[in-house]
Structure 1
Amino acid sequence: MKVRYTVGDTKVHDVDSGRVIASQTDLERVDALDDSQINYDDIPDLGPEFWAQAQVIDHGRKKPITIRVDQDVLDWFKSRGGRYQVLMNRVLRQYMEITQKRSSGN
């Protein structure tokens, strides 16, 4: 399970579902650690091969719009926790990409 934790936040979110989950980590203690107190041995060395293939995906600026959605749909997205507008954008992007693939015959 991938989780998202923002320093200073008291909540941990499941990245896939957006649900707030109970953390078993003493987050206050972790936040108080100095970099010299953290063991980085289990992090793989990302050499030149990795960075040569790495890509930054930027879909451009977000366009503020007004949209009308059913209340229960909005409530559901908000109940996932975190940034519900980002989640809605991801869902719309996936729909767009799937529809484009189908219409192009891929």
Structure 2
Amino acid sequence: MALGEGLDQSRTDWDRLDSMRDEDIDLSDIPEITPEMWKHAVLVEPDTTQQVTLRVKRSVLEYFKAGGKGYQTRMNQVLESYVRAQRTK
């Protein structure tokens, strides 16, 4: 599968879900959240982004754009992964 292929294709029947009442949702296979589970929970604040101007090779930009909508987010994810790898050295 190519990068971004199928991202815009949802197989979810959104009309059916929108028409469902909360009581109609089957929760039998979802475990109840216990106080023990919350004991180890960690609040993670979302990291803000900052707009920048960045020069990249045309081939790099074309590759990410070929994946469709969200290419800037994917580029940021690659950069974040690189930063994490460098910090663990």
TM over 0.5: yes
Give the corresponding residue for 1:89: 76
Q: Specify the code of the residue in structure 2 equivalent to 1:20.
A: G
TM-score, length-normalised on structure 2? 0.70
Q: Tell me the CA shift for residue 70 of structure 1.
A: 2.3
Higher strand share: 1
Structure 2 unaligned blocks of 5 or more:
none
Whole-Å separation in 1 of the counterparts to 2:34 and 2:78: 33
Q: Report if the CA contact (8 A) 1:77-1:88 is conserved.
A: yes
SS, match of residue 20 in structure 1 = coil
Instruction: Kindly state the Cα deviation for residue 36 of structure 1 after the two structures are TM-superposed.
Output: 2.0
Q: CA deviation at 1:18?
A: 4.7
- The reply on whether 1:20 has 2:6 as its aligned counterpart is yes
Gap change, CA 1:85 and 1:45, over 3 Å in 2: same
| Residues 1:50 and 1:83: Cα distance change in structure 2 (over 3 Å) | farther
Letter in 1 for 2:13: D
Counterpart for residue 52 of structure 1: 39
Counterparts in 2 of 1:92 and 1:47: CA distance versus 1, 3 Å: same
Of the two, which has the highest radius of gyration?
2
Q: TM-score, normalised to structure 1's length?
A: 0.62
Q: Which amino acid aligns with 2:34?
A: G
Fraction of identical pairs, as percent: 35
Higher relative contact order (CA 8 A, sep 6+): 2
